Structure 1
Amino acid sequence: MPVPEILVDADACPVKDEVYRVALRRGVPVTIVSNGPIRIPPHPLIGRVQVGAGFDAADDWIAERAGPAALVVTADILLADRCLKAGATVLAPNGKPFTTSSIGNAIAVRAIMADLRAGGDSIGGPPPFSKPDRSRFLSALDEALSRLARSLPAQPPAPV
């Protein structure tokens, strides 16, 4: 039976502490995936995978394990697309869900912005991460985990 799990693209993730808090409250395992060492709380539900420094190594590790029981936390639009195609639920650190109906537009905007930057235009970056973003993420994570738990087959009762 599939068990919900949270996979975090962690190198630049500003909401790791929020993920830990919600996951521990709900009893959901978390895997923090990064290119470099990242401290994690000492808890059996929280694990860490440090991948090589290769380009997209963390993304590849996450995408290979994403599936219908996974909730992926990432700001990477291309990773979000790969995970959605694998059936995973995907949330950005600001609480915005990536969906199959929204990902195409996000990829197109990303490509336009890359073209503008390549042409020398100074377009700036995303707005700074804010307290409302953190709050929105907490709410979205809790809601997404509830939906995910309802969508998975029920666990059989433990033998007595």
Structure 2
Amino acid sequence: MRVLVDADACPVKQEILRQCKARRIPVIMLIDTSHELHDGYSTVITVDKARDSVDLKLINLLSPADVVVTQDYGVAAMALGKGAMAIHQSGTLYTKENIDRLLFERHLGAKLRRAGKRAGNTPKRTREQDRAFERAFAALLDGVSEVRHAD
């Protein structure tokens, strides 16, 4: 098992690193050339700055035993399609039961933006949101680890 992170705008990189280090789980952070990242633990892969370049590289590296951290519903859907697990930076686990609804909501938001409307403001991230992610991510890693060890 590895954790692959769509790291360009990920606000929970430190939480991911802390938990993966403690469990000795490899982490791959994917960024484009407009970002820099050096954390001393993860493997950082930098790709050209092009539309969806990080997303495509992440999906190409993905194996069914992996966990993906992304806020992109499309990336999450592809990860699920490859048999991997995916989690949002809020701590919401992407599942086959919720991904269709999330993709549809993304489609509606894009449609509103094209029509010149705004779907709403995103409030500033709170420490409680970080803690919610940490709890959900720990449960996911521990659950995945138990399943993998049971084989």
Tell me which interval the TM-score lies in, with the shorter structure as reference length.
Answer: over 0.9
Q: Secondary structure at the match of 1:84?
A: helix
Structure 1 runs of 4+ aligned residues shifted over 4 Å read: none
Root-mean-square deviation (CA, aligned residues, Å) is 1.5
2:135 maps to a residue whose letter is S
Aligned to 2:54: 58
Q: Secondary structure at the match of 1:152?
A: helix
In the comparison of the two structures, how many residue pairs are matched? 150
1:99-110 → structure 2 map (5 Å cutoff): 99-110=95-106
Query: How much has 1:148 moved relative to structure 2?
Result: 1.2
* Higher relative helix content: 2
**Match of residue 113, structure 1, among 109, 114, 119:** 109
Query: How much has 1:154 moved relative to structure 2?
Result: 5.6
Query: How much has 1:112 moved relative to structure 2?
Result: 0.7
Query: Structure 1 CA distance, aligned partners of 2:116 and 2:50?
Result: 27
Query: Structure 1 CA distance, aligned partners of 2:46 and 2:111?
Result: 32
Q: Secondary structure at the match of 2:124?
A: coil
Maintained 8 Å contact 1:66/1:87: no
Query: How much has 1:122 moved relative to structure 2?
Result: 2.3
Note if 1:9 corresponds to 2:6: yes
Query: How much has 1:123 moved relative to structure 2?
Result: 2.3
Query: How much has 1:130 moved relative to structure 2?
Result: 1.5
Query: Structure 2 CA distance, aligned partners of 1:50 and 1:143?
Result: 29
Question: What TM-score do you get using the length of structure 2 for normalisation?
Answer: 0.93
Query: Structure 2 CA distance, aligned partners of 1:137 and 1:19?
Result: 9
1:1-160 → structure 2 map (5 Å cutoff): 4-36=1-33, 37-43=35-41, 46-152=42-148
Question: What TM-score do you get using the length of structure 1 for normalisation?
Answer: 0.88
Provide, for residues 70-121 of structure 1, a one-character-per-residue CA deviation record: whole Å limited to 9, x for no partner.
1100000111100110011101111111111100000000111111111111
Maintained 8 Å contact 1:7/1:72: yes
Structure 1 alignment gaps of length 5 or more: 156-160
Query: Structure 2 CA distance, aligned partners of 1:127 and 1:114?
Result: 19
